[in-house]
Amino acid sequence: MQRASRLKRELSLLTTEPPPGITCWQNENQLDDLRAQILGGADTPYEKGIFNLEIVVPERYPFEPPKIRFLTPIYHPNIDSAGRICLDVLKLPPKGAWRPSLNISTLLTSIQLLMAEPNPDDPLMADISSEYKYNKQLFLLNAKEWTEKYASQ
């Protein structure tokens, strides 16, 4: 019950006061199946891209983090080809930093920040990570290409 009222409150806030560049909604009236869109930030290789994400809210939310993955392919050291995201706030402690005080809005904002500032030292995609570290121009070129190919409307 707590979960349902909290989710309703979060969704209503996401609708009325969404973080800049982020939208989130229920998928087919399922309270635990959400979709989100993140706009690629200005001055990043993802600029002008629209990235779709899937959010599955577990039974134990907010004591367990939602499972979030990209549905839109993205060229990024911390996001794999299945759309899984390597980000500490998406995992439970001791390995992660999830806390019940966090919410879906915070998570989406963190993902948006990760898009703008990859963490090559904790990669899911080792090859993209080393490209980011040692050949940034090539990384930026590839990321822009993927954004144009998969995230342009």
Domains (range + CATH), the chain: 1-152 (3.10.110.10)
Query: What does the alpha-carbon distance between residue 122 and residue 60 come to, in Å, rounded to a whole number?
Result: 27
SS3 label, residue 15: helix
List the beta strands (DSSP E) in 40-146.
50-56, 67-70
The answer to whether 49 and 75 are in contact (CB under 8 A) is no
For 16, other C-beta atoms within 10 Å of its C-beta total 7
Per-residue b/e over 58-88, b at no fewer than 16 CB within 10 Å?
Answer: eeebbeebbebebebbbbbbbbbeebebbbe
Catalytic site residues?
A: 86
| pLDDT tens-digit map of 14-64 | 999 999 999 999 998 888 999 999 999 999 999 999 999 999 999 999 999
| pLDDT tens-digit map of 91-149 | 999 999 999 999 999 999 999 999 999 999 999 999 999 999 999 999 999 999 999 99
For 118, other C-beta atoms within 10 Å of its C-beta total 22
